[in-house]
Structure 1
Amino acid sequence: PTEQLLREGWAGVVNPADMPHVRASWVRSIETGQPFEAECRLLRRRDGAYRWHIVRALPLCDEAGQVIKWYGTNTDIDDLKRTEAERDQLIQKLSASNRELDQFAYVASHDLKSPLRGIANLAQWVAEEMPEGVDPTILSYLDLMRGRIARMNALIDGILSYSRAGRVWNRLEEVDTGALVAEVVKTVALPSEARVEVSPDLPRVVTDPVALRQVFTNLVENAVKHGRRRDVVVNVDVSGPHEVGEGLSPMYRFTVRDNGPGIDPAMHERLWGLFQVLQPRDEVEGSGVGLSVMKKLVEARGGKVGLESRPGEGATFWFTWPRTDEPSFEETVITPETLGASG
């Protein structure tokens, strides 16, 4: 009876390519009395087109528990299937585009840094060959050249970081943010009279430690650099966790506050843009990329960034970060080995 039903009842409407798994599912349900369900393409008589359906059937049993009838439904899911296929294609294209962007950024930075290294070496050789008593102006030109080389290197590194921010994820770990910030402070060049105050209440989170470290590094360095005073005080604090919506991890709100000159509110939005700086680069060294990278890293995790400041009142940069990180996808970190680059 089963084969007859499949042969005479379904063979005329089920796409031949789907018949094997439909047959297997139906036979299994007949033998076990379990509900039947299968996704397959069914023929639409009026135009001869096949459309995807979910076919479901439930058994009706007699008093002895024997199946006497099956009652079923066919639900058209063709539009959903097409949407899913389009989504999968877009995801594949996006992943390919991201890989190409990573490759381009890496190769571009590699190719741009090669001549910079040559220029730096030439500047060093010129300095070593300088006779004693040379005009101080010439030495100042060499120092200026070295500064420009260092700035260009930082700019290239910044562009590479920006291209990857929010797309390259590392392994998630439980992170003590207090210990992480303490490590960050050790790497920042602080003036002798400066200090960084870290709240003892900083929490533990499950996250990508590399990304969170970069966010704190950018903010602490920014506070020290633009504090414009040797006795700059930087305070790192937290509040939360705050619920943000169904299905989302609660967010902590971290703040990095300094006692610097403050920032005009008219400049707040501009600061988050790429290559934006408040002071001439000859006065304060910087690529103008750090805050943009930080913003991308935070927003990739559903967080937000903000700035509260007025002239003469210092600046408070804040960001929200999930208690538990949940990346929607992972990208492969591009390295010389994966690219086959050399030199």
Structure 2
Amino acid sequence: MSEYIDYLEMLFDSGENRDIFDKKIAELFPAIIYVFDVEQKRLKFINKKVSDFLGFTYEDIREGNLDTLIFKDDQQLVQQELEKFYTLQNNDSYAYNCRLNHKQGHWRHFRTLGSVLRRKEDGHAASILFIAQDITDQLKSEEEIKAVQELFDETEELLQLGSWSYDIVKKTIHWTNGLYKLFEYTRAELPVITREFYYELISPDDRAGLEAAIKNAYESRSGFEYEYEVITKNKNHKIVSTKAKVVTDTGGTPSKLVGMTRDVTPFRNFERDRERSIRELNRSNRELEEFAYVASHDLQEPLRKISTFGERLQAKFSETLGKEGVLYLERILASTENMRILIDNLLEFSRTTRSSRAFEKVDLNTVIATVKMDLELKIEENNAQIIITSLPKIEAVPSEMKQLFNNLLSNSIKFKKPAVDPVIEIGTEKIGKQEKEKHHLPADKEFFKIYIKDNGIGFEEEYAERIFQIFQRLHGKAEYPGSGIGLAICKKIADNHGGVMYAEGKLGAGATFILILPEKQS
């Protein structure tokens, strides 16, 4: 823009009247042109472009007051900048940035270049010629580019990756900030990155594999993805994954290789730890399951003998044993039966843990209907009322669903209030995002919440988790018979299906058992 200053000075000194001068300037320059009188501190001239850029007319600039144009927060800055023009020598020019007011109330950024137009006899500036170009859009673009770059850098840091490009002809590599951080270098330490230097960072065991992947990408004019180990500046070993594409010139010859390299060390370490933990957990579970199964199975034989010989003793020697002896024998037989039920339930729990998980489409309405038929006698004896709204179809293990609802309905009937007929309500609804987050369930799957609500004796809220633990009981066996395994089996079935089970209740006011099950299995 400085080359225009001399031409404008020539026009201004040409002796032509202001209108002709203003017209020529308006035609030639997309900028605000004005002359500032140093001694009077006012504008001597301003072109009509001020209307195009700022909406002001020449008449709006009262008595040539420059402050009318300058944004109030920049007025002190402009005064300081003007001082620098007063001391310019010869045909030197100087430029500064400031904001100028628009007549409608907002402001725009301008880059103002100026030079002394006339000097006094003592050589000091008498008037100064200025060209002010609107750079608002340019600055906005620069700010956007800066913001995008900052966001890009933050994203790279967050994802622990960096971008790069390799010039095949020059054999030099350009890294983004993310890669400098990944390899623990600064730009000052590595102003130039060569192919040879980068290969020195790669583990010797992986160099040939990466080279082969790159060669294949060149030949196929495509790309590659390769995972390998690198050694950083601080001798840290990292596992990185590189994905790249070949860029060809107009003749189809590979000219560049561009790509991204990501630090996947935490993921690979996590996977190894997870696999090790899963193997250890599976081994432990297998041993526990085998122990429970074998122990339960082996206990059956002595238990059968106790039961058999106890019954023979009762049949043949009741009179000899007397009333007290018979009482003791009856207690032995009752305890034997309780033990048999407990072992059967333990075996059932073990089988649930070892589920084959043969999932298929299951209509829960059909499951409930089957369970009601199985419990028909118990329902009639207790005059129980079961109210069911339409239930969904889900992918599940049919036998486990039957066992789950059998246990829950039996439970609700068993723990009824004295002299009060049981009323059991079963309903369902889909859960939303917040409930998925609450129970740590995957957001991309649909889940149904199924509730089984009764009007029974309920329980205190502090026992809401305890009732699902194996062998945990809140009531005596004489009062409410059972082994304390039924609800534990229910929860295990829910877990096997990738779901959630919990209970809500209030002592004397009934209980609600809530199942959250996925519509489809993975």
TM-score interval, smaller chain: 0.7 to 0.9
Q: CA deviation at 1:133?
A: 9.8
Q: CA deviation at 1:45?
A: 6.0
Structure 2 distance, partners of 1:289, 1:221, is: 13
Aligned equivalent of 1:279: 475
Structure 2 distance, partners of 1:16, 1:113, is: 62
Aligned equivalent of 1:249: 446
> If the length of structure 2 is used for normalisation, what is the TM-score?
0.53
Structure 1 distance, partners of 2:366, 2:458, is: 29
**Farther off after superposition, 127-136 or 214-223:** 127-136
Q: CA deviation at 1:248?
A: 3.5
Aligned equivalent of 1:338: none
SS at 1:70 equivalent: strand
Change over 3 Å in CA distance of 1:143–1:196 after alignment to 2: farther
Structure 1 distance, partners of 2:265, 2:389, is: 56
Structure 2 distance, partners of 1:143, 1:183, is: 36
Aligned equivalent of 1:90: 277
Alignment of 1:189-204 (within 5 A): 190=378, 192-204=381-393
> If the length of structure 1 is used for normalisation, what is the TM-score?
0.78
Q: CA deviation at 1:172?
A: 0.9
Change over 3 Å in CA distance of 1:234–1:80 after alignment to 2: same
Aligned equivalent of 1:22: 210
For the pair 1:316 / 2:511, whether they are aligned, the reply is yes
Given residue 279 of structure 2, which amino acid in structure 1 is its aligned partner?
Q
Given residue 321 of structure 1, which amino acid in structure 2 is its aligned partner?
I
Given residue 56 of structure 1, which amino acid in structure 2 is its aligned partner?
K
Structure 2 distance, partners of 1:117, 1:286, is: 20
State whether residues 53 and 74 of structure 1, in contact with CA within 8 Å, keep that contact through their aligned partners in structure 2: yes
Q: CA deviation at 1:34?
A: 0.8
Aligned equivalent of 1:289: 485
State whether residues 51 and 78 of structure 1, in contact with CA within 8 Å, keep that contact through their aligned partners in structure 2: yes
1:70 to 236, 243, 257: 257
Aligned equivalent of 2:63: none
Given residue 322 of structure 1, which amino acid in structure 2 is its aligned partner?
L
SS at 2:475 equivalent: coil
Change over 3 Å in CA distance of 1:277–1:71 after alignment to 2: closer
Q: What percent identity do the matched residue pairs reach?
A: 24
Alignment of 1:194-233 (within 5 A): 194-227=383-416, 232-233=421-422
| Alpha-carbon RMSD | 3.3
Structure 2 distance, partners of 1:288, 1:207, is: 25
State whether residues 194 and 231 of structure 1, in contact with CA within 8 Å, keep that contact through their aligned partners in structure 2: no
Aligned equivalent of 1:34: 222
For the pair 1:112 / 2:295, whether they are aligned, the reply is no
Structure 2 distance, partners of 1:55, 1:14, is: 12
Q: CA deviation at 1:223?
A: 2.1
Given residue 398 of structure 2, which amino acid in structure 1 is its aligned partner?
P
Aligned equivalent of 1:330: none
Aligned equivalent of 1:176: 363
SS at 2:402 equivalent: helix
For the pair 1:304 / 2:493, whether they are aligned, the reply is no
Q: CA deviation at 1:200?
A: 4.9
Deviation readout 1:265-320 (Å, 9 max, x if unpaired) = 36643434433334321333211222233234335533231133442x4x233212
How many residue pairs align between the two structures?
Answer: 317
**Farther off after superposition, 229-238 or 210-219:** 229-238
Q: CA deviation at 1:162?
A: 4.5
State whether residues 254 and 318 of structure 1, in contact with CA within 8 Å, keep that contact through their aligned partners in structure 2: yes
Deviation readout 1:48-93 (Å, 9 max, x if unpaired) = x653221233222212333222234443323332222122211211
SS at 1:38 equivalent: strand
Change over 3 Å in CA distance of 1:97–1:69 after alignment to 2: same
Which 5+ residue runs of structure 1 have no aligned equivalent? 328-343
State whether residues 407 and 487 of structure 2, in contact with CA within 8 Å, keep that contact through their aligned partners in structure 1: yes
Structure 2 distance, partners of 1:104, 1:196, is: 41
Deviation readout 1:15-55 (Å, 9 max, x if unpaired) = 344355434422321111112220012344653x6532212
State whether residues 458 and 511 of structure 2, in contact with CA within 8 Å, keep that contact through their aligned partners in structure 1: no
- Between the two structures, name the one with larger relative contact order (CA 8 Å, sep ≥ 6): 1
SS at 1:304 equivalent: strand
Change over 3 Å in CA distance of 1:162–1:193 after alignment to 2: closer
State whether residues 471 and 484 of structure 2, in contact with CA within 8 Å, keep that contact through their aligned partners in structure 1: yes
Aligned equivalent of 1:125: 312
Change over 3 Å in CA distance of 1:139–1:284 after alignment to 2: farther
Structure 2 distance, partners of 1:91, 1:13, is: 34
2:458 to 260, 263, 267: 263
Structure 1 distance, partners of 2:421, 2:384, is: 7
